[in-house]
Structure 1
């Protein structure tokens, strides 16, 4: 029965949502480098 309920302001929720959306857009433009990824059919291996 000692649970603590934290109320989060709408502005904080909106800020977190916008950051997540921006991160998704950034990752779609600049995909994170995966050095050990095996190329799929028709893809060339990325040279490092």
Structure 2
């Protein structure tokens, strides 16, 4: 299972690979609703709606 970290609160959420990058399985962080996440493995930022 892959995880992404919320850039706002630090909570982790499940992610899946789409178009060779990880995207969260939810429409936002389940804890705070933020839509920007960090892939801690690569350091890349993922923002929903891009």
TM-score relative to the length of structure 1: 0.19
Give the structure with the higher percent helix: 1
Give the structure with the higher percent strand: 2
TM-score relative to the length of structure 2: 0.19
Larger radius of gyration: 1
> Which of 1 and 2 has higher RCO (CA within 8 Å, sep 6+)?
2
